[in-house]
């Protein structure tokens, strides 16, 4: 039985360890009467797993299951049997995503769903047992939303630089750049969330943004990077809505001046 807790000299999980743990968790779910269905999610669900992929499982809870007891039992199992060292909770509606970090650096995401809501919210969903409901996929961000976040970050970039808050300035300038990259992904049909599609873009399309990386906290460097990323934002807005780009050119140019 492979152990997912590596020896001291090798604190990195292997593919075999990941596969063993995933199958063990699936067996545990099948044997737990409080779990009515389970699904693979993430890259493994679509055959896109690589050396560094994590484990993603979605679990449906029976109507009469005590949710807190289920959470506690599965959490204790991850710590006592599988080498978890910490976990993070993310909630979306009534669904709890409990994300574990193992000593081997393997990430394990367990999503606990109410049975009536259990179903695919993205193409990365492979039902293992039980039944799933038909659900609308989680919408991708719209170009309008990304543009709005872009100019909002730009406003704060200007004020942060003026106030001498150089770390905040670096943060929000990077925020502008992230919106531009997401707009590029959206335009080229790539995933536009969490940076997943950026490395699928052509080098030519991302080249203008390389210079927009902030290289130091010097005020002149912050202004330089802000100027480049602001121009890139306007160029992407032009691709979406020429009229909007015309209206935003004056205010954005003023922010970058």
Q: Domain end: 129, 164, 184, which one?
A: 129
Coil, helix or strand for 127?
strand
Q: Which residue has the tokens 């030519």?
A: 204
Do residues 60 and 38 touch, judged by C-beta distance below 8 A? yes
Whether residue 214 is contained in a domain is answered as yes
94 lies in the same domain as 152: no
Q: Residue ranges of the chain with pLDDT lower than 70?
A: 1-11
Q: Exposed, middle or buried, 97 (CB in 10 Å: 0-12/13-18/19+)? A: middle
Judge whether 136 lies within some domain: no
Residue 33 located in a structural domain: yes
183 and 250 part of one domain = yes
Asked if residues 141 and 193 have their Cβ atoms less than 8 Å apart, the reply is yes
Is 47 inside any structural domain? yes
* 27: containing domain: 15-129
- Say yes or no: 96 and 196 in one domain: no
Number of domains in the chain: 2
CATH number at residue 23: 3.30.460.10
Same domain, 68 and 93: yes
Residue 7 inside a domain? The answer is no
Same domain? 88 vs 153: no
Is the distance from CB of 155 to CB of 176 less than 8 angstroms?
A: no
Decide which of 63, 97, 129 is a domain's last residue.
Answer: 129
- Tokens for 257, please give them: 């001046």
**pLDDT value of position 123:** 87
- Whether 165 and 115 share a structural domain: no
Residue 9 belongs to a domain: no
So what's the pLDDT on residue 96? Answer: 97
Q: Is residue 31 part of a domain?
A: yes
- Please give the C-alpha separations between residue 223 and each of 162, 166, 226, 236, in angstroms, as whole numbers: 10, 11, 5, 20
CATH number at residue 251: 1.20.120.330
For the chain, the 3-state helix, strand and coil shares in percent, each to the nearest 5, are 50, 15, 30
**Within a domain: 29:** yes
Helix axes 203-210, 166-187, angle to 10 degrees: 160
SS (H, E, C) 88-101: EEEEECCEEEEEEE
Strand ranges, E, within 93-137: 95-102, 107-114, 125-129
Candidates 150, 143, 196; CA nearest to 176 is: 150
Q: Are residues 155 and 218 in the same domain?
A: yes
**Do 117 and 149 reside in the same domain of the chain?**
no
Question: What pLDDT does residue 2 have?
Answer: 52
User: What are the pLDDT digits (tens) for 60-105?
Assistant: 999 999 999 999 999 999 999 999 999 999 999 999 999 999 999 9
pLDDT score of 5: 44
């Amino acid at each position: 039985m492979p152990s997912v807790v590596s020896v001291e000299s090798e604190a990195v999980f292997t593919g075999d360890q990941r596969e063993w743990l995933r199958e063990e968790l699936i067996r545990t779910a099948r044997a737990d009467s409080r779990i009515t269905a389970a699904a693979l999610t993430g890259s493994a669900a679509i055959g896109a797993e690589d050396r560094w992929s994590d484990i993603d499982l979605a679990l449906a809870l029976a109507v009469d299951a005590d949710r807190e007891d289920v959470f506690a039992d599965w959490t204790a199992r991850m710590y006592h049997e599988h080498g978890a060292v910490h976990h993070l909770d993310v909630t979306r509606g009534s669904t709890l995503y409990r994300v574990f970090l193992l000593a081997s650096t393997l990430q394990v995401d367990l999503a606990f769903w109410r049975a009536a809501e259990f179903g695919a919210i993205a193409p990365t969903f492979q039902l293992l047992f039980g039944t799933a409901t038909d659900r609308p996929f989680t919408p991708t961000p719209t170009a309008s939303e990304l543009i709005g976040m872009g100019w909002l970050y730009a406003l704060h970039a200007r004020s942060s630089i003026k106030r001498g808050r150089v770390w905040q300035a670096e943060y929000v300038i990077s925020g502008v750049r992230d919106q531009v990259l997401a707009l590029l992904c959206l335009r080229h049909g790539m995933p536009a969330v969490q940076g997943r599609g950026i490395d699928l873009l052509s080098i030519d399309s991302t080249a203008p943004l390389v210079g927009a990386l902030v290289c130091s906290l010097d005020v002149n460097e912050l202004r330089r990077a802000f100027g480049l990323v602001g121009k890139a934002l306007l160029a992407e807005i032009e691709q979406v809505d020429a009229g909007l780009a015309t209206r935003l050119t004056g205010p954005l140019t003023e922010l970058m001046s």
